[in-house]
Amino acid sequence: MGFFLDGPAVIILGGERRSMPTESPNARSAVPQRVLIVLLGSIGDVVRALPLIGRLRAAWPGTHLAWAIEPKSAPIVRDHPWVDELILYERSRAPWSFVPFLAAVRRGRFDLVIDLQRHLKSGVIARVTGARERLGFAAINVKEGNHWFSTRRIAPQPRMSLKLAQYQAFGDLLGIPARSISFGLEPSAAARERVAMLIGDAPRPRLAVILGSSWPSRIYAPEAIASVIRQLAEPGAGGFFAVLIGGPDEYPIASAVEQAAGAPHMINLAGKTGLGDLPAVFAACDVAFGPDSGPMHIAAAVGCPVVSLWGATAAERSAPWGFAEFALTGAIPCAPCYLRRCPIGNECMRRITPESVVSAIKRAANASPSLAGAAS
């Protein structure tokens, strides 16, 4: 793998591409040679865009697919078999940090850009490439005049439709064949080895506990998490072993959960794994639960059943693919409010009782072939 640095912009070439089925595109124009995906930040959005990338790769096996992305989300697609190149935007407070990044995308000489970000910044990135064809969202679905930078736009999307389905609309606009939803997100051998060393011979079934979220308003209370863990640890409830998952910022939540739960039937991985390790972590677990977050979508992408908890945001828009039936929403008139910070103490999340979470986890476990009947 090669690394080329130019100020804050970093170009990463490379992972080994796996073979994909070849399909004849039904596009209105010639197959593009160089395509840029613009989706910079959100971990969850990046995961949900992967099925579109797989669709592009299947239709255009010889096309060079690049992705403009920020470092925080890059581990998801670094070495991904469908992605040929990453162009990293090293965000800093200096306004001129954007310039070397724009120079890097300009040098890419792309002939097609797909802007999935829908903001002013992503529109500027698309335009600076010089690509003759730039696809974007309709005016009703964008912010900051993003639609003025695109040459073609998908049809207006319902606000509460799944983002994954919205991204698939770009494949429809391009006229490429539909394919079954897949993410191509396989744990690396190195990540599997690291996770195996961390989890060791922890008993099955294993419950992945997603502690955090980028919005404080989405957080489930540590006391409630601990109650779920205690109830499911009982032999009659399945005897689940809890695996606490989070970054360094989730240390306080993890410590509070350990203290409230008594911690004999769990392991705390908060801060011990990186984003690139999470596919291996969820692959080593049997079911997961937690709030709206990027890791929730990673769990679903590797096939780990997910019980998702909703309040400030809406499951109708962002439920993990394949597991919408296990989404639980706090019943309160102001939800979903889409506020990062709740003025009334995350009341919507408090209304999701530990007992309802336990019940949903048991259902999710029984829906998994590997655990059928284990938690009945």
What would the pLDDT profile of 134-163 be if each residue is shown by its tens digit?
Answer: 999 999 999 999 999 999 999 999 988 999
Co-location of 99 and 205 in the same domain: no
Q: Say if residue 195 is in the same domain as residue 121.
A: no
Q: Does some domain include residue 183? A: no
**Does residue 2 carry a pLDDT above 90?**
no
The parent domain of residue 63 ranges over 2-174
Virtual torsion, Cα 68, 71, 72, 78, nearest 10 deg = 70
Q: Are residues 95 and 151 in the same domain?
A: yes
Q: Measured between alpha carbons, how far is 245 from 364 in angstroms, rounded to an integer? A: 19
Q: CA–CA separation, 288 vs 207, rounded Å?
A: 5
**What is the predicted pLDDT for the residue at 369?**
52
DSSP letter, residue 328: E
> Tell me, what's the pLDDT at 366?
87
The verdict on 127 and 263 lying in the same domain is: no
* All residues at 6 or more sequence positions from 262 whose CB lies less than 8 Å from its CB, including other chains: 230
d(CA 83, CA 81): 6
Same domain, residue pair 196 and 280 = yes
pTM for the full predicted model: 0.90
- Whichever domain contains 119, its CATH number is 3.40.50.2000
pLDDT, residue 159, reads 87
Confidence band, pLDDT 50/70/90 cuts, at residue 30: confident
**88 plus 22 within the same structural domain:** yes
Is residue 202 predicted with pLDDT exceeding 70? yes
**Average pLDDT value for the chain:** 90
Q: pLDDT per residue over 294-331, tens digit each? A: 999 999 999 999 999 999 999 999 999 999 999 999 99
Residue 184 maps to a domain:
no
Q: 285 with 353, same domain?
A: yes
Q: Do both 311 and 366 map to the same domain?
A: yes
